[in-house]
Chain A
Amino acid sequence: MHGPAGTESRTDPHWRDGPWQKAGQRLTAHRPAAAGLTVLAALMLAVAAGLVAGGGPVGAALAAGHQSLSFTLLAGLGGAALGLLWAAAAVALGERAERAMMAPAAALTGLPLALALPLVGGLLGPQRGLAPMVMVAALIAAPAVAVIARDELRALLRREFLSAAQAAGIPNGRRLRRHILPNAVLPLAAAAWTALPRALMAESLASLLGLGLPAGVTGWGTAIGAAARAGDAVALAGPALLLALTLWALHGVGDGMRLAFATAFSTTAGGRR
C-alpha cells in the first residue's frame, strides 16, 4: 500500500499547525497587512506618547489623532455591529426576508454615503453633540458590512462539512454552536473591519468641512481644514500625512484579512486548485 501514512516528511515546516495559527500566518504573509498592522500599532503608541508629552506641531497632530482614532473606533465598532446584525438577521429569517433586507443594503453601498455625515453635521448646527455624529457614522458604515457579511454567511452555510454534520445526525442547535459560529468568526471579522476605514473617511471629510466633530474637539480633518484655511503648509503636513498613513494601513489590513480569512477556512485553499 502506498503510504498516506500521516506523518512522513512534508516540505512545509508548519503543516502541523492548527487552523488559527495558519490563518495568522496567512495574514502576516500578506505584506500590506503586516505593514498595516505595524503602522497601526506604532500610531497607537505614538498617539498615547504624544498625549503625555504634547506640545509642538507634532504633538498637536498626535493629539488630533487621538480624537480621530477614538471616533473611528466607536463609529466603526457600532457600524460593524449593526452590519453584522443586519446580515445575520437577514440570513436567519429565510429567503424572502433576506432578499427584502439585503436589497436596501446593496443599494445603499452604491451611494456616496460619506456625504451624509457633513450633511447631518450641518443640520444639527454648531451645538451638535458627539453621540449623534458617532451614530450617523456607524449607520454609514453598516450597509457595506452587511453586504459582505451576508455573502460570507451564505458561503459558509453552503460548506460541505455542514452537510457532513447533518449526515452525522447532529441537531441544528449544536450545529450552529459547534460548527457554524466558530467558522464564522474570522470571515465576519474581515467584514467588520471594513467599517473602520469608512468611519474614518466620513469623519475626516466632515471635519474638514467644519461639519464633523463638534466644536472644541479637534480631529485630523479639523486640523487639516484649519491649516488649509490659514495657508499654513507646515501645520497641514502633519495631520494630512498621519491621516493618509492610517487610511492606508486600515485598508491594507482589511485586504489581508479578506484574503486570509474569507477563504481561509475552506481547506481547499491549502494547496489544491
Chain B
Amino acid sequence: MSGADVIGPDDRSPLRVEGLSLLTSRDILLDRLSFAVEPGEVLALSGAAGAGKTLLLRALSGLAPKGVTVLGDIHIQGRRILVTQDGALDPLRTIGAQFTELLAHQSGMDERTALRCAAEALERFQVPAAARRLALHPHELGEAMRWRAALALAMAAEPALLLADAPAAALDPTQRVRLLSDLAAWTREAGTALLLAGRPQPDPIQADPVPSGLADRRLILAQGRLEAPEEEPTPAPPPVEPAPSGPPILSVRDLRVAFPLGRSWRGAERWLTVVDGLSIALAEGETLALLGETGSGKSVLARAILRLVPPVGGQVSWLGTDLAAAPPEAMRRARGDLQILFPDPLAAFDPLMTIGAQFAETLESLRPSRSTAQSAAQSTADRAARLAEALEEVGLPAAVLDLHPGSLRPAEAARAGLARALLPEPRLLVCDEPAATLDGSERADFLALLQAIRRRRRLALLYATQDAAEGLGIARRALVLLLGRIVESADSVVLATGARHPYSRALIAAAGLDRPALHGDPPSPLRPPTGCPLRLRCPLAHDGCAQVPPTLDPVAPGHRVACHVAQDSAQEDGKAP
C-alpha cells in the first residue's frame, strides 16, 4: 500500500488519467489511456489475460516495474491504496495489530479506539464475532475471511481511491459476489472511488457487472488500449429441444464415493463422504448440468461415473450393464461410449508424447482397427486421416498432431482435448468444467463449438460447472449439488426463473452478479452440520432445519427440492386456487 498526494488543478475526481502510456524498450504495453473515476464510483476493468490490467493498477499506484517508462499524466487526489491479487496482509502480526498500526499512523488513534474501528470495519463484511478475530494471525483465517480482513483494512485507511486487483479470485462465486457487493456498497457510501480489475479466469467482473449494479461503468482493456464496451447481444435462449424420451442409457443409483481419512483416536474409521447417495438417469441425447461449488462433489461424481474414482456404494449402469461388475472387455467397450473433458485440458495430455501419438493411442485402445484384409500401410494412412479429421472438426490444423502439449495454448489444448474425447465416437460426454482455463471470447467460442458438436452428433451431455448461467445455458435439465447431495433438480428454464432452494437461488444470483443471500462461509465437509447441510448459511433456516434433514421431494412435475421451507410454500401454492 502506498499513499500519495498529487493535486490536480481544481478537479474533484480522485483519479484522472490522461494519455497514459507504458513502454519498454521493445513494446508498447499500454497505449494512451485516458479515463477518470469520480468519488463513490465503481469502475470495473476487464480484459483478457495479459491485457495489462495488473500493470495499469501498479502504474496507478506508482509501482510500475523496473524498465517500464511511464508517459502521460496521472492525477490523483487524496490517498490511494492498491490491494494486490494475493490480498497481502503481514503474516507475522495479528489482524488487530495491523489495524492499530495503520490507524495510529494515519489518524493518531489510540489502541482501544482503533480496535473498535477495526471490529466495525470487519462487521461491514458480516464477519461474526469480529472483535475476537482481531487477535488472530492471517494464516489462522480462512481464505474468505482473509480477504474480508484485507479489504476492511484497506477501507479503514479511508482512501480516496481503492485499486483492487482481482480480489478474492479463488473464492466460490456465492462468497465472492457477496464480498464484492459489500465492498461496492461501502465505497459508494464512503465516497471512495473503486477500480476493480478482473482476472483472466472465468470471472464475474469479466462478465458485464454494470446491469447488476455491482459496477457503475466498465472499461475493457484489449491489447493495451481501452475499448468501448460493445453491446453484447443477449444470448439467444437455447432452442427448446423436445425432452428426449426413451429408456435411460446411463443410470446412476445411490452412488456413494468416500475417501478414508485414517482412524480417529478411538480407533473408529473416519471417512470423508464426497458423493452421498446420488441417483441420476440420462436418456439418449439428453443434457444435464451439475451445478455446485467447491466441495459439492460434482467433479468426483463425474469421475465416479467413468470409474476413474472407485465408488464405495451404489451402481452405475451403462446401457443396462453394471460397470462395477463389467469384465475388462465390456468395460473397454463402455469407455469408448463414455468420454470425459477435464478441467485443465493441458494437464490431461501426457507432456512427453505428441498430440498425434496420444490420439493414436486412444483410438487404438478404444476402437482397434480390425481390418486384417487391409494392408498395414493403408490402415496407418486411414488412421492419420482420421486424426486430422478429428482436429479439423474442432477447428485445429493438422500440424497440431506433431506438437507436444507444452507447445499448445490453453484454448488449443481445450480443443485438442475435445477432439480426443470425440475420437472413439462416444455417446455420452462428461464435462468437468471444461472451459475453466479459458476466458472471454475464447471461452464463448469453445462452448459454442461444444454445443454445435453435441447437436450434430446427438451426444448426451453431463456438464459439471460452478457457473450457474453457463450450466443452465448448455443443458436442458439441471441438478444443484451441495455437499454431495442433490438439493434441487428441475428443467433449466424452470430453474433460471423459479429456483426454490435458497442455495440454488444464491448460485444463480451470483452468476448474474446479484448479491447472494447466503451468509457466512461453507461448513467444513469433515464436519457437516446436522440436519440440512445449508443450515448455517441459510437465510430461511428455522429450528426444524437443524433436526430433520430435508429429503428431495417433488414440488411440481419434474421439479424436486430438498428444503423444508420451499416444500411448505409449494404446498401452500398448491392449495391456493
Q: Give A contacts to B, CB under 8 Å.
A: 1-2, 4-7, 15-20, 22, 159-161, 163-171, 178-179, 182-183, 265-268, 270, 272
Q: Give B contacts to A, CB under 8 Å.
A: 303, 306, 308, 328, 331-332, 335-336, 338-340, 342, 344, 346-353, 361-362, 365-366, 395-397, 399-400, 403-407, 409-412, 415, 420, 437, 441-442, 445
Complex: A161 Cα to B308 Cα, angstroms = 12
- Tell me if B346 and A7 are in contact (CB < 8 A): no
A167-B306, A178-B361, A267-B405 known; A6 vs B397 contact (CB < 8 Å): yes
Most buried by A among B352, B415, B441: B352
Residues of chain A within 8 A (CB-CB) of B365 are: 168-170
Nearest chain B CB to A58 CB, angstrom units: 44
- Tell me if A167 and B335 are in contact (CB < 8 A): yes
- Tell me if B349 and A164 are in contact (CB < 8 A): yes
Residues of chain B within 8 A (CB-CB) of A169 are: 331-332, 335-336, 365-366
Residues of chain A within 8 A (CB-CB) of B410 are: 272
- Tell me if A266 and B351 are in contact (CB < 8 A): yes
- Tell me if A2 and B366 are in contact (CB < 8 A): no
A19-B404, A268-B347 known; A167 vs B352 contact (CB < 8 Å): no
Residues of chain B within 8 A (CB-CB) of A6 are: 396-397, 399-400, 403, 412
For B415, the closest partner residue in chain A by CB is A4
Residues of chain B within 8 A (CB-CB) of A160 are: 342, 344, 347-348
- Tell me if A265 and B352 are in contact (CB < 8 A): yes
For B307, the closest partner residue in chain A by CB is A166
- Tell me if A4 and B442 are in contact (CB < 8 A): yes
Residues of chain B within 8 A (CB-CB) of A182 are: 352
A4-B395, A167-B308 known; A15 vs B407 contact (CB < 8 Å): yes
Nearest chain A CB to B388 CB, angstrom units: 12
Nearest chain B CB to A60 CB, angstrom units: 47
- Tell me if B349 and A267 are in contact (CB < 8 A): yes
Residues of chain A within 8 A (CB-CB) of B362 are: 168
- Tell me if A19 and B351 are in contact (CB < 8 A): yes
Most buried by B among A159, A164, A178: A164
Residues of chain A within 8 A (CB-CB) of B396 are: 4-6
Complex: A183 Cα to B404 Cα, angstroms = 14
A-B contact pairs, 14 of them (CB 8 A): A2-B442, A4-B412, A6-B399, A6-B412, A19-B404, A22-B406, A165-B350, A167-B338, A168-B362, A183-B350, A183-B351, A183-B352, A266-B351, A267-B347
- Tell me if B361 and A170 are in contact (CB < 8 A): yes
Residues of chain B within 8 A (CB-CB) of A17 are: 407
- Tell me if B411 and A4 are in contact (CB < 8 A): yes
- Tell me if A1 and B308 are in contact (CB < 8 A): no
For B366, the closest partner residue in chain A by CB is A169
Complex: A159 Cα to B351 Cα, angstroms = 11
- Tell me if B348 and A161 are in contact (CB < 8 A): yes
For A10, the closest partner residue in chain B by CB is B409
Nearest chain B CB to A95 CB, angstrom units: 9
Complex: A170 Cα to B360 Cα, angstroms = 12
- Tell me if B352 and A164 are in contact (CB < 8 A): no
For A180, the closest partner residue in chain B by CB is B350
Residues of chain B within 8 A (CB-CB) of A15 are: 407
Most buried by A among B348, B396, B441: B348
Q: A179-B350, A270-B346 are in contact. List 9 more A-B contacts (CB 8 A).
A: A5-B397, A6-B396, A17-B407, A160-B344, A160-B347, A165-B361, A168-B361, A169-B336, A267-B346
For A5, the closest partner residue in chain B by CB is B397
